[in-house]
């Protein structure tokens, strides 16, 4: 049993390293402004269902860095990440719903995604959580009490989907 557990942990570590390498390389390329390399490294990871790669590639489409700016494509990628529980994807998808960029403006969905993001950021990500809460509250100021209740219900009922 002990050797099985050790073998399993080793396989998980190897698999994580295999994905972390290209993801880290893509992040480094993005940070130095080599968007072509970042996009080339992120795309296959995103297509394999990696939510961080989906979020980061979505960010490239939202900002037009390395690709033609396309809010609809950004929303699609953010949604894939958000549906798996990635708080960055949830937050940015919520922002797109708030302003109606790439998706129809929908305050209920904006509030729901921002609420989920705020609840999913790690304890060490205090600033990100605070920004998500502040943005969610700004969206709530544009909503009726019934809409807020609907958004909160959707957030409570939400369950992450497996990678596709």
Q: Which residue has the higher pLDDT, 72 or 19?
A: 72
Helices and strands (H and E) in the chain: how many = 8, 0
- Averaged over 38-49, what is the pLDDT? 96
Global pTM value: 0.85
pLDDT at residue 121 greater than cutoff 60: yes
Q: Which residues fall within 8 angstroms of residue 97, CB to CB, at 6 or more apart?
A: 103, 104, 105, 106, 107, 109, 110, 113
What are the residue boundaries of the structural domains of the chain, listed by start? 2-157
Matching residue, tokens 């995604």: 113
Per-residue pLDDT of 50-96, as tens digits, reads: 999 999 999 999 999 999 999 999 999 999 999 999 999 999 999 99
Fold of 2-157: 1.25.40
Q: What is the pLDDT of residue 162?
A: 87
Q: How confident is the model at residue 4 (pLDDT cuts 50, 70, 90)?
A: very low
Of 63, 41, 64, 43, nearest to 54 by C-alpha is 43
């Amino acid at each position: 049993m002990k050797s099985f557990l050790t073998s399993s942990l080793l396989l998980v570590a190897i698999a994580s390293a295999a994905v972390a390498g290209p993801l880290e390389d893509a992040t480094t390329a993005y940070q130095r402004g080599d968007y072509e390399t970042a996009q080339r490294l992120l795309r296959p990871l995103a297509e394999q269902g990696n939510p961080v790669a989906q979020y980061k590639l979505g960010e490239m489409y939202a900002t037009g860095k390395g690709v033609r700016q396309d809010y609809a494509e950004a929303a699609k990628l953010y949604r894939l990440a958000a549906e798996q529980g990635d708080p960055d994807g949830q937050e940015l998808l919520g922002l797109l719903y708030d302003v109606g960029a790439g998706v129809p403006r929908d305050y209920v969905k904006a509030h729901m995604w921002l609420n989920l993001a705020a609840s999913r950021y790690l304890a060490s990500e205090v600033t990100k959580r605070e920004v998500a809460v502040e943005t969610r509250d700004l969206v709530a100021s544009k909503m009726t009490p019934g809409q807020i209740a609907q958004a909160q219900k959707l957030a409570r009922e939400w369950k992450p989907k497996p990678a596709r």
